[in-house]
Chain A
Amino acid sequence: MEANSRMTGLHESRVQRQKSSLFRQSLKRLMKNKLAVAGFGVVVCMFVLCFIGPFFSPYTDNKINMTLMNKAPNLQHLLGTDALGRDILTRVMQAGRISLTVGLASMLLSVFIGALLGAIAGYYRGIADQVIMRIADLLMTIPSLPLLFIFGALLSEWKVRADYRMYIVMLMLSIVNWPGLARMVRGQMLSLREREFMQAAVVLGLRDSRKLFHHLLPNVVPLLIVMATLNIGGAILSESVLSFFGLGVMPPTPTWGNMIDAANNMIDFQDHPWLWIPPGLSIFATVIAINIFGDGLRDVLDPKQKR
């Protein structure tokens, strides 16, 4: 009797384990990769700092205060103040909000466009494929940075309002990023659509939309997650580059990129390092952390990459 109950107990625990979803299995494997977890931790800290931090700062009004110009770090202003007497720490946090939002949003948009167009191209082939992939090729042949510069210059030329620029920058980054994603999704689709389970789906009499979005796309999701994660880092970096050159988001809206602009000034560069080191370090830490986390994710989710 007792043995019997122990048996069922054993059975139960096996069942519990079986119940764990693919997500949970992946999470478990991810947790074993300490570096990736650390990367994820840094990213989370960055988000918390940028989105919640400013609520605890007394300097969020960004008032110009000539008496506090270019003060070195001190107890009142932990990271010092800038040329207009604004608190650097507060500005770094506020800038992080913009930079991270731009990175996330442009990633979401480019993943959406890329996955949709790539899936359609790979599944239907023929004319749809030709049209979509030639557009993608066209965008990919132009190096993305000069392309972004041209877009940015056009924005300045057309005198787009400063507060809209952030959204337009997101859009620009997505336009530059989707072709790579679309190409990858298309490649996956081309191979997946020939697999036997897709024949089985045809035989079941399913609609194209169902085959595409229920059967094929979920098979690409792991790869998409990895690409998307790595994409955020790239987008943050691109946005910073643009803003650094004054072609992205414009001051007074702070971003990490336009804050490092201070390094352009020889005097600031040499005498006031607190102006440009904090935003620079933020970019560095965030992008590195995202990339490490992304690589960890890839090891977990994309078994083909493993040896």
Chain B
Amino acid sequence: MKHLMNIEGLSTVFYTEEGKVAAVDHVSFQVREGETVCIVGESGCGKSVTAMSIMGLVEAPGGKVAGGKIDFAGEDLLGMDPNTLRAIRGNEIAMIFQEPMSSLNPVMKIGEQIMEPLMVHLKLNKKQARLRAIELITQVGIARPDQIADSYPHELSGGMLQRIMIAIAISCNPKLLIADEPTTALDVTIQAQILDMLREFKASGGMSILLITHDLGVVAEMADYVIVMYSGKVVEEGGVVELFNNPKHPYTKGLLKSKPVVGQRLEELYSIPGQVPNPLELEPSCYFHDRCEQCLPVCRSRQPQLKELDGGQKAACWLYEEAEVHV
């Protein structure tokens, strides 16, 4: 499959009062055409910031993309002039946010908000845009599209609003859809509907999805390829089946183990001991070393690099660097 987006060495930093924080640190990955890539990790691991960097939402003076390349369909998103970037945003790359309630403008009618990208990017006139908007509302499975188009966001439920967000996102047939925890704020039954809908549109429109989530259930259901992030770095990546069946990195193993399993009611759910390291106090070590059950001496002093292992998976862990392990 062809690469749609190729991210190489992406680094994003934020300037805080205590100092510079590298929220995303030399992250590289690819999204192929028609593929769903999931980025997983706990809060603060840099998964959302990765998405924001792709969309150009990291704004000076708070932070900036410090380095790397984001190649989208042959063009570098980072070095692009604002006008070209604007033509790509919303048109070829669309994004869905975590909180549907606050992602829609409270004083604009739903219909107008769907019509906007249609008029801006596809140059439809008002009438055509309105017809298309109503079609889109029907497509995302909402009844009475005419009335919904004339209502305001506060009149709809969270699940409906997330559907509307999806309608807006797919309105211009994007090549890539970035979904930043699209189901986190919704209840479980709605979650399933939303995920199904995303899968459906992916299949019919041939778009790629970059799904950001902390929910391994969502990953198992949606992903073709999984990227596990920890402290701003990619620690493991691979196909969804391999990664779930045969996790390599101790962090991934821990994540998978902390999932509750029906029928095995334990005294206490498994959790990875310790806390995510403070991003201000990172040392040249494996960032996971103090929480790792298989920590080696080398883990405390040197950072492992992402390496391809047999089976096509990649992991950044000293356990798999034979030379050092057997010292």
- Please tell me if the beta carbons of B152 and A22 are within 8 angstroms of each other in the complex: yes
Instruction: Return the CB mask of A172-215 against B: 1 if under 8 Å, else 0.
Output: 00000000000000000000000111011111111100100011
Q: Nearest residue in A to B150 (C-beta to C-beta)?
A: A19
- Please tell me if the beta carbons of B147 and A205 are within 8 angstroms of each other in the complex: no
Q: How far is the CB of B294 from chain A (nearest CB, A)?
A: 40
Q: A195-B102, A197-B103, A214-B108 are in contact. Are A205 and B86 (CB under 8 A)?
A: yes
> Bound state CA distance, A52 and B250, in angstroms?
85
- Please tell me if the beta carbons of A205 and B88 are within 8 angstroms of each other in the complex: yes
For B89, list chain A residues within 8 Å (CB).
Answer: 202-205
Instruction: Return the CB mask of B134-163 against A: 1 if under 8 Å, else 0.
Output: 000000000010010011100100000000
Determine if B67 is an interface residue (Cβ-Cβ < 8 Å).
no
> Bound state CA distance, A204 and B56, in angstroms?
12
Determine if A15 is an interface residue (Cβ-Cβ < 8 Å).
yes
- Please tell me if the beta carbons of B106 and A204 are within 8 angstroms of each other in the complex: no
> Bound state CA distance, A200 and B89, in angstroms?
10
For B105, list chain A residues within 8 Å (CB).
Answer: 197, 201, 215, 218-219
Stretch at the interface among B92-100, B262-270, B273-281: B92-100
Q: A196-B97, A196-B99 are in contact. Are A203 and B90 (CB under 8 A)?
A: yes
Stretch at the interface among B11-19, B115-123, B223-231: B115-123
- Please tell me if the beta carbons of A204 and B117 are within 8 angstroms of each other in the complex: yes
Q: A15-B147, A196-B97 are in contact. Are A202 and B57 (CB under 8 A)?
A: yes
Q: How far is the CB of B142 from chain A (nearest CB, A)?
A: 13
- Please tell me if the beta carbons of A218 and B107 are within 8 angstroms of each other in the complex: yes
Determine if B24 is an interface residue (Cβ-Cβ < 8 Å).
no
Determine if B55 is an interface residue (Cβ-Cβ < 8 Å).
yes
Determine if A18 is an interface residue (Cβ-Cβ < 8 Å).
yes
Q: Which of A199, A205, A218, A219 contacts B97 (CB 8 A)?
A: A199
- Please tell me if the beta carbons of B168 and A204 are within 8 angstroms of each other in the complex: yes
* Chain A 205-264 interface residues, beta-carbon cutoff 8 Å to B: 205-207, 210, 214-215, 218-219, 221
For B151, list chain A residues within 8 Å (CB).
Answer: 18-19
For B121, list chain A residues within 8 Å (CB).
Answer: 205
Determine if B91 is an interface residue (Cβ-Cβ < 8 Å).
yes
- Please tell me if the beta carbons of B87 and A196 are within 8 angstroms of each other in the complex: no
> Bound state CA distance, A200 and B97, in angstroms?
8
For B117, list chain A residues within 8 Å (CB).
Answer: 204-206
For A202, list chain B residues within 8 Å (CB).
Answer: 55-57, 89
Q: Nearest residue in B to A218 (C-beta to C-beta)?
A: B107
Most B C-beta atoms less than 10 A away, residue of A199, A214, A219:
A199
For A204, list chain B residues within 8 Å (CB).
Answer: 89-90, 94, 116-117, 120, 168
Determine if B104 is an interface residue (Cβ-Cβ < 8 Å).
yes
> Bound state CA distance, A125 and B106, in angstroms?
23
Q: Nearest residue in B to A207 (C-beta to C-beta)?
A: B86
B interface majority secondary structure: mixed
Q: A204-B117, A219-B105 are in contact. Are A199 and B57 (CB under 8 A)?
A: yes
> Bound state CA distance, A18 and B151, in angstroms?
7
For A218, list chain B residues within 8 Å (CB).
Answer: 105, 107-108
- Please tell me if the beta carbons of A221 and B120 are within 8 angstroms of each other in the complex: no
> Bound state CA distance, A214 and B108, in angstroms?
9
Most B C-beta atoms less than 10 A away, residue of A15, A22, A205, A207:
A205
Q: Nearest residue in B to A219 (C-beta to C-beta)?
A: B107
Instruction: Return the CB mask of B180-208 against A: 1 if under 8 Å, else 0.
Output: 00000000000000000000000000000
For A18, list chain B residues within 8 Å (CB).
Answer: 147, 151, 155
For B97, list chain A residues within 8 Å (CB).
Answer: 196, 199-200
> Bound state CA distance, A167 and B33, in angstroms?
65
Instruction: Return the CB mask of B49-75 against A: 1 if under 8 Å, else 0.
Output: 000000111000000000000000000
Q: How far is the CB of B124 from chain A (nearest CB, A)?
A: 14
For B86, list chain A residues within 8 Å (CB).
Answer: 205-207
- Please tell me if the beta carbons of A205 and B107 are within 8 angstroms of each other in the complex: no
> Bound state CA distance, A195 and B101, in angstroms?
11
> Bound state CA distance, A205 and B56, in angstroms?
11
> Bound state CA distance, A122 and B87, in angstroms?
25
- Please tell me if the beta carbons of A206 and B120 are within 8 angstroms of each other in the complex: yes
Q: How far is the CB of A204 from chain B (nearest CB, A)?
A: 4
> Bound state CA distance, A214 and B107, in angstroms?
10
Q: How far is the CB of B117 from chain A (nearest CB, A)?
A: 5
> Bound state CA distance, A200 and B104, in angstroms?
7
Q: How far is the CB of B102 from chain A (nearest CB, A)?
A: 4
For A219, list chain B residues within 8 Å (CB).
Answer: 105-107
- Please tell me if the beta carbons of B94 and A196 are within 8 angstroms of each other in the complex: no
Q: How far is the CB of B140 from chain A (nearest CB, A)?
A: 16
- Please tell me if the beta carbons of A210 and B90 are within 8 angstroms of each other in the complex: no
For A210, list chain B residues within 8 Å (CB).
Answer: 116, 120
For B102, list chain A residues within 8 Å (CB).
Answer: 195-197
For B104, list chain A residues within 8 Å (CB).
Answer: 197, 200
Q: How far is the CB of B112 from chain A (nearest CB, A)?
A: 8
- Please tell me if the beta carbons of B57 and A203 are within 8 angstroms of each other in the complex: yes
Q: How far is the CB of B9 from chain A (nearest CB, A)?
A: 24
A-B contact pairs, 14 of them (CB 8 A): A15-B147, A195-B102, A199-B57, A201-B105, A202-B55, A202-B56, A203-B89, A204-B94, A205-B87, A207-B120, A214-B116, A218-B107, A218-B108, A219-B107
Closest 8 CB pairs of A and B: A205-B89, A205-B90, A204-B90, A196-B102, A205-B86, A203-B95, A200-B103, A218-B107
Since A205-B89, A205-B117, A221-B107 are in contact, a sample of 5 more A-B pairs with Cβ atoms closer than 8 Å, ordered by chain A residue number, is A15-B147, A196-B102, A202-B57, A203-B90, A204-B120
